[in-house]
Structure 1
């Protein structure tokens, strides 16, 4: 069958607060998600024999833990689908970067196979399946910039400015579990509202913890902050700053120290995934 390419865009956490802990041990969060017009690509070729074949190997990841494979098997189980698929991820998003690469790949797999297999699940049902794979998967399934609470799955769509972002990628992979377990993490930040965020309140509660553990993150944050307000996304290690115009972002990217990589991308309130079948267009400026 004919292969099709599907986008798995990056996300940014424009702010991230930890406001408490639930009885099940998970942290209660407040954050705003926005997508980027840059990310991974998932190539999907349906099969008639029911087999799920993975044709990529993600560095440092046990194949049994590959979220793309898990998403495909979960959709089969939930719907009784008898079709299978060959799946290949072209990675651009770094592991442990806070850009949501693995979660986005899983969401794209669910959305693509739901359509190609004609299993008929609606957005709500797909988001519920996604939550079984990871807390960030539902926002990628729904594909709308969102105010998020609880573990990140309680989503309210929002309309935000769509600036150009310079994303700096230090050569560091950060363990989300380790950061949330760090005793220095502030777990009792006062909740804020969307109006508070739009008025300029809000930061990343994990940023100080990551910067203390990872000198490269601290150095990159200081460097980027000399050009524009800079922040870490998610649990790191990637950092971002917003610019009104693409040339301004690219001018700073051109000065990026060689020990770090980075890319310039546009913020998106609507995920490219919502446009369905996709031709690989991730041609934005990258170093």
Structure 2
């Protein structure tokens, strides 16, 4: 049976840089929240040995997409660890892209995580979720949180996860129709002093902030104006190192009211946060096993 799988978006309710490694990777503390919104992937396994990606967004076909990278990594590591002879493992993957590129909503990382989890199951490789999370760090630092599938505090370079439960809220997500690539923000990001690493209890009881927000606002007046406008009505910040701005509400009606005030030159949607990833909920619903 062929299924279509969720590849959910996320927001960073806070994001702090606590240090930099010698290789340039940044140590962070972040609160990683899933949204009931995202891309979908239809994955059809075969024995042709090739991974093929199909999508209406042609720009994603002209680069080394995270989906292809994830599938090839899974084949390589399964063979290396003697889990399976994978030379004839293949798949056709159909991506329905809703998460904007460069938005800070984690689309590429989420796509990679969904690919790893689903193909691990369909190919019967039997890596555990923790093993997949470790493998995924070779692709991107956000991917382990997507794989483990819970609202979580993320530390280190993305490999240290502290799952939590948080009251589910409604969010207005606004995309200003301009992408911001993570590598560009990190390369232009400068701070006089890193944020001091704090305890989880302290982080959750303090006002949330994103250390990259000033850098993004200085580079993009449109985003600065958007944050100022939304902050009149609700707590509002950028997410991750991207261009999307989110505003938090206790109910859908309040979010709809502010959505109606958005300027014409932006895109927006309203969604609810979830403590369990929609991908994990889909596995439970279909009575499938991760490993």
TM-score (norm 1): 0.92
Correspondence for 1:254: 260
Q: Using the TM superposition, give the Cα deviation of residue 275 of structure 1 relative to its aligned residue in structure 2, in angstroms.
A: 2.3
Correspondence for 2:97: 91
Q: Using the TM superposition, give the Cα deviation of residue 199 of structure 1 relative to its aligned residue in structure 2, in angstroms.
A: 1.8
Q: Does the aligned pair in 2 maintain the 1:207–1:236 contact within 8 Å?
A: no
> Are 1:235 and 2:241 counterparts?
yes
2:109 partner SS: helix
Q: Using the TM superposition, give the Cα deviation of residue 200 of structure 1 relative to its aligned residue in structure 2, in angstroms.
A: 2.5
Q: Does the aligned pair in 1 maintain the 2:189–2:215 contact within 8 Å?
A: no
> Are 1:51 and 2:57 counterparts?
no
Correspondent of 2:273 among 267, 274, 280: 267
Matched residues in 1 for 2:43 and 2:172: separation? 30
Matched residues in 2 for 1:177 and 1:59: separation? 22
Correspondent of 1:222 among 219, 224, 228: 228
Q: Does the aligned pair in 2 maintain the 1:17–1:202 contact within 8 Å?
A: no
Correspondence for 1:149: 155
Correspondence for 2:24: 25
2:158 partner SS: coil
Correspondence for 1:3: 2
Alignment length (residue pairs): 278
RMSD: 1.8
> Are 1:132 and 2:138 counterparts?
yes
Correspondence for 2:106: 100
Q: Does the aligned pair in 2 maintain the 1:5–1:277 contact within 8 Å?
A: no
Alignment deviations for residues 195-214 of structure 1 (CA, whole Å, 9 cap, x no partner): 22222333100001001101
Q: Does the aligned pair in 1 maintain the 2:41–2:95 contact within 8 Å?
A: yes
Structure 2 residue runs without a partner (length 5+): 80-85, 286-291
TM-score (norm 2): 0.91
- Within 5 A, what are the aligned runs for 1:45-194? 45-56=44-55, 58-61=57-60, 63-80=62-79, 81=86, 82-182=88-188, 184-185=190-191, 188-194=194-200
Matched residues in 1 for 2:240 and 2:173: separation? 13
